[in-house]
Amino acid sequence: MTYPRVLLVRLPCRKIYPIGPVYVAAALRQAEPLIPLRLLDLALIGPAARKRFLTETIRLFRPDVVAFSWRDVQVFSPQDMDGAMRDAFTFFYDPSFSRKARAAASGLFHIFSYRNALAANLSLLRTARKAAPSALVAVGGPSIRIFEEPLRRHMPDKVRMVPDLEQLFPLLGVPAPENLLEPMLDLAALERIFPQWTAYRSEEIGVQTKKGCPHNCLYCLYGFLEGRQVRRRGPGGVVSEVEAYHTRWGARRFWFTDAQLLSDASDENHLHEVLDGIAATGLDLSWSGYIRIDKLKAPLARLMVRTGLRDVEIALNSGAQPVLDGLRMGFSVDEAMEGFRVLRSAGYTGRVKVDLSLNSPGETTETLKETMKVVDRVRAIFGPGLVTPVIFFLAVQPHTGLEKKALEDGSLRKGYDPISVWPWDVRTLIYNPPPLGRMIGRCCADAFRRSEGERGDAVLANLGAALSDKERRRW
Ligand code: B12
Ligand code: SF4
């Protein structure tokens, strides 16, 4: 029996370990160990050489199937460290005409690079069609799952969109493995099919411990992407994977890629077992991931710190309970504060980023003041210099409660294009409505102009001034 030769191609994005395509390759090997496989990571190749590399790999490997993995579409991010967001806010809210003009020019650059990245990915799909005219060309990954409809009309002829991994196996004529969640990664085999692996030798490595999140936070699409039912991997398999990367590749930094590491109390045992297993190996490593701390208990917190937790970033969103409730976050401000205390008492002395999504539904001048007070309280727990507020705006994404709400209240028009690159469209996708939108926007634009690096504190200081009656008129 002959099996189709499968070339997996990770479409370009900022360099990050290609855990998605690596797990796809592992699943294909599990489905049929004899399938000839090759993984090409275009994130590691300069833009000018990508088409040549792809064509050459196709010529040498002669695939029957070219399966692309598309990770990122929205390469901008609605937070204070993002250049595109800073330009947009300066353009819309800065009172100075010359600064607006400069931001417009630099904004144009962002628009064109975003547009070019989309066009370049589609063009790589065309290149594959041309270089392998008789092969099946398919594309999957998170961007296809989220933007299947808007991307469909841009898809080159005869390119199959495959939003779910399960749908790939029938196309190849092999049965799907019984447990798609357990990659059973074999690094020796991976090195053979992925010769570029050496580029990730000293990089952060992604490892998934489970899939799904039971919460339904208003703005989040992870439930749509991964499902609301949590499916957990065997802790032993996760530990072996980490250990293999550590011993074979010398990996020291890991990111647990779960949508949420501690979504509720039922995740506690699982995470405990994973970290216990890691502690038992005695490996020297550090790790991070998306984690909620509102249910964090002291024993787990101590284990987290002992196994190398670093770079804690907590999506607190707001210090005001009505806003948290409106966002359906499912925790209270007090629970979050208790979580911070537990983490500190467990010996965590690293940095803490506190993500705040200003002007979320229900925001008032009073709730903004409460948020500022809460940041001070977090600072008092960890000490000065360790806590950084990160200012976000909610981004309207498809398949979320926020999209539904924006469509219902008319701030988003039906049939809108979520991948549009035009500033007037992007503006409607960044949730910053009246009556507070203009004041908050101006506080941000001013902070972006005056400060370097992390701007969260400067934005909050401006907000503090704007909210004191004396200064209100200036904003
Ligand atoms: C963890 C994470 C991060 C971490 C990654 C840490 C690390 N070292 O890996 C951090 C915080 C760094 C991060 C950053 C960013 N991220 Co991120 N991230 C995630 C998250 C939560 C999980 C991604 C992951 O690795 N999952 C585990 C792997 C195994 O799953 P996977 O890649 O989806 O692959 C599976 C399937 O998609 C499928 N599949 C994959 N390829 C293919 C191909 C075929 C043919 C088929 C059939 C199937 C298939 O099978 C795989 C195995 O199950 C997702 C959201 C989510 N819940 O999925 C967002 C997500 C991937 N990120 C996203 C974005 C945009 C970004 C940023 C660009 C944000 C920004 N503007 O700065 C950056 C930059 C990333 C980069 N390239 O450098 C978007 C991408 C889609 C989009 N909206 O454009 C997502 C979906 C979040 C979102 N809200 O939309 N991210
Ligand atoms: S924001 Fe976090 S906790 Fe809320 S639904 Fe998304 S992944 Fe789950």
User: For ligand 1, what atom is nearest to the CA of residue 221?
Assistant: 89
pLDDT value, residue 1 = 72
Ligand 1: distance of its center to the CA of 18 in Å?
9
Q: Which ligand is nearest to the CA of 225?
A: 1
pLDDT value, residue 156 = 95
Q: Contact, 136 vs 64, CB < 8 A? A: yes
Instruction: Return the residue whose CA atom lies nearest to atom 3 of ligand 1.
Output: 257
Ligand 2: does its nearest atom lie under 6 Å from the Cβ of 215?
A: yes
Ligand 1 pocket (Cβ < 6 Å) reads: 13-14, 16-17, 19-21, 23-24, 67, 69, 71-77, 138, 140-143, 146, 162, 165, 168, 204, 206, 208, 221-222, 225-226, 255, 257, 259, 397
User: For ligand 1, what atom is nearest to the CA of residue 208?
Assistant: 27
- What is the DSSP code string of 203-223? S-EEE--EE--S---TT--HH
pTM equals 0.95
Domains of the chain (ranges; CATH) run 206-309 (3.30.750.210)
Return per-residue pLDDT of the chain as tens, 475 residues. Answer: 789 999 999 999 999 999 999 999 999 999 999 999 999 999 999 999 999 999 999 999 999 999 999 999 987 766 766 777 778 778 888 888 888 888 888 877 877 787 888 999 999 999 999 999 999 999 999 999 999 999 999 999 999 999 999 999 999 999 999 999 999 999 999 999 999 999 999 899 999 999 999 999 999 999 999 999 999 999 999 999 999 999 999 999 999 999 999 998 889 999 999 999 999 999 999 999 999 999 999 999 999 999 999 999 999 999 999 999 999 999 999 999 999 999 999 999 999 999 999 999 999 999 999 999 999 999 999 998 899 999 989 989 999 999 999 999 888 899 999 988 777 777 788 888 889 999 999 999 899 888 777 789 999 999 999 998 655 666 5
Which of the listed residues 13, 14, 24, 160 should we mutate to test ligand 1's pocket, taking the one with most ligand atoms within 8 A of CB?
24
E strands within 299-444? 312-317, 352-357, 387-392, 394-395, 430-431
DSSP classification of residue 416: -
Collapse the DSSP code of 353 into the 3-class scheme (helix H, G, I; strand E, B; otherwise coil) and give the result: strand
Residues contacting 289, CB < 8 A, separation 6+ = 255, 256, 257, 258, 261
Ligand 2: distance of its center to the CA of 304 in Å?
20
d(CA 463, CA 444): 9
The first and second tokens of residue 40, run together, are 């090409």
CA dihedral 44, 45, 51, 56 (to 10 degrees): -80
Ligand 2: does its nearest atom lie under 6 Å from the Cβ of 140?
A: no
Ligand 2: does its nearest atom lie under 6 Å from the Cβ of 223?
A: yes
3-state helix, strand, coil in the chain (%, to 5): 50, 15, 35
Task: Give the closest residue to 423 by CA, choosing from 5, 23, 108.
Answer: 108
How many of the other CB atoms lie within 10 Å of CB of 55?
Answer: 15
| Counts of helices then strands in the chain (DSSP H, E) | 18, 15
Q: Do β-strands 394-395 and 430-431 pair in parallel, antiparallel, or remain unpaired? A: antiparallel
Ligand 2: distance of its center to the CA of 448 in Å?
28
d(CA 346, CA 419): 43
